Amino acid sequence: MENRMSDNQRRFFCRLLFLFFCCLPTAIIVYRAFHPRTSDDWQQQVLATTGVHTQVSSVETLSPTETVLRDVTVFDGHGQPVLSAMEVDLNCTPGRSQIVIRDQIRLSNHGLKYIAETINRKLMRSGACSVLLNDVVLTATENGQTRELRVSPLEITTNPTAEGSRAVVTLQMRNANALSDQRAVVQCNVDHIAATDQLRIHVETNQVAMPCWLVNQWLPELRELGSESGFAGRFFIEPQEERLSGWIDGQFTDVNLTSGYDPSTVAASGGNMLGQIELHMSFPVLPRGVGVDRKNDFAILKMPDGTTQPILPDYELQEVFNVASAIGKTVRTARSKSAIKF
C-alpha cells in the first residue's frame, strides 16, 4: 500500500522549508544590517577571543560573515602599541575564523614576541583559525642600530589535534643566494601538548639563512654569534622527561670570529672576520659515545680563509640540557679554536 503524506503534512513541510531557507537567512541579514557591532563591541570581542587589546576607528559589515575593521592598533599588556593596520578583514564561518591584513605592517622584535605568546596562549587553544599578513617588515633595534627583514606573505594557521593543537607558521622571503628573485618558504610547526602544557617545535628554513636576531629574546646566547649571523637548516625540539630533546642540522652563517684574530689581521680584512659553523647534533648534548646516535654528531668551524676545523661536542664531558647553552658553548669553542690558530 502506497504511503502518501496528507495535505496538512505537505503544507507543514513546505512551511518548514520556507522558514528555514527563506525567513531565517533574511532575519539574520536584517538583524546584522540594523544592529551592527560598533567599534567598542569589536574591541571587546577581540579581547575576549584573543586576549589582545585593540583600538578600532570604524567598522563596516559587508555580509553576515565578513567584517572590515579600519585603523586598527594592537597593544601589548603594558599598553604599548605593537602594530597598526589600515584595514583588517574578518571572516567568521562555522568552525573557522580568518583574519587578513593586506597593507604593510611593521613588527618589532618585542611585538614579534608578544604575537608569538598570544598565539600560544589563546589562538592555539581556541579552535581552527588562520591569520594572513600580506606584507610584514620585522625590525630589531640594538645599540642604536636597526635591522629589518621583509617577509611577504606571513601566514599562521591553528587547528585542533589529538594531542592538543598545532600552529603552522609559513613565511616567504627572497633567497639571497639565488641569482633570480626566487622566493623560499620557511615553515615552523608548533604543537601544543595539552597533557603536559608544553610545546614541540620543528623549523625548516629551506636553506635560507634566517637572521639570528629574530630569536634573541628567546635565545639570548645567540648574540655571541655576532650581529650579522643567521641560521640555515632545520631543527626539532621537544620536551622529554623534564629536559629538552631534539636535534639541529644546519649552518650558522656570518659568525663573528674577530676576537680570535690579532688587530692587524682584522684591520686588513675591513673590520670583521666572519666564519661559519656547520652542525649536526642531537640534544641533550651528552659525552661522545653516549647514546645510539652520538657517533654521527659533528660540528665544524669554517674559517674566514676557507680552512676548516672540527669542534668536538663533548664540552668537559658534561650534559647540556639547554639548546641555547649548547650553541653558546659551540661558539665559544669555535672562537678558542680560531684563537689557537692565530
Residue 238 near residue 200 (C-beta atoms within 8 A): yes
Q: Which residues contact 262 (CB under 8 A, 6 or more apart)?
A: 342
- pLDDT tens digit string along 36-58? 578 888 888 888 777 788 999 99
283 burial via Cβ count (<10 Å: 0-12, 13-18, 19+): buried
pLDDT at position 258: 77
Confirm whether 106 is domain-assigned. Answer: no
Per-residue pLDDT, averaged over 15-35, amounts to 54
Confirm whether 309 is domain-assigned. Answer: yes
Residue 213 near residue 142 (C-beta atoms within 8 A): yes
Residue 338 near residue 260 (C-beta atoms within 8 A): yes
**Domain range for residue 239?**
209-342
Q: Which residues contact 42 (CB under 8 A, 6 or more apart)?
A: 54, 56, 59, 67, 69
Which secondary structure element, helix H or strand E, spans residue 18, and what is its range?
helix 7-18
308-324 CB burial, b ≥16 within 10 A, e <16: eeebebebeeeebebbb
Q: What percent of the chain has pLDDT over 90?
A: 23
Q: Which three cell numbers stand for residue 245?
A: 630533546
Helix (H, G, I), strand (E, B) or coil at 304: coil
Is pLDDT of 209 > 80?
yes
Is pLDDT of 322 > 60?
no
- pLDDT tens digit string along 269-312? 666 778 888 888 776 655 444 455 555 677 788 888 788 877 75
- pLDDT tens digit string along 96-139? 888 999 999 999 988 888 888 887 777 777 778 889 999 999 99
Distances in whole angstroms, Cα of residue 157 to Cα of each of 119, 148, 220: 10, 24, 27
Confirm whether 88 is domain-assigned. Answer: no
When divided into structural domains, the chain yields a total of 1
Q: Which three cell numbers stand for residue 74?
A: 594592537
Helix (H, G, I), strand (E, B) or coil at 229: coil
CB atoms within 10 A of CB 179: 6
Which secondary structure element, helix H or strand E, spans residue 266, and what is its range?
helix 263-268
Q: Which residues contact 340 (CB under 8 A, 6 or more apart)?
A: none
pLDDT at position 273: 79
Confirm whether 69 is domain-assigned. Answer: no
- Reference 231, options 257, 248, 251; nearest CA is 251
pLDDT at position 341: 40
pLDDT at position 84: 93
Confirm whether 82 is domain-assigned. Answer: no
pLDDT at position 196: 85
The label of the residue with cell 623560499 reads 184
Specify the amino acid at residue 63.
S
Confirm whether 283 is domain-assigned. Answer: yes
Q: How would DSSP label each residue in 99-155? A: EEE-S-EEEEHHHHHHHHHHHHHTGGGSSSEEEEESSEEEEEEETTEEEEEEES-EE
Confirm whether 312 is domain-assigned. Answer: yes
Helix (H, G, I), strand (E, B) or coil at 41: helix
Confidence of residue 230 (pLDDT cuts 50, 70, 90): very high
Confirm whether 246 is domain-assigned. Answer: yes
With vertex at residue 298, the alpha carbon angle to CA 295 and CA 301, rounded to the nearest 5 degrees, is: 160
- Separation CA 187–CA 233 (nearest Å): 11
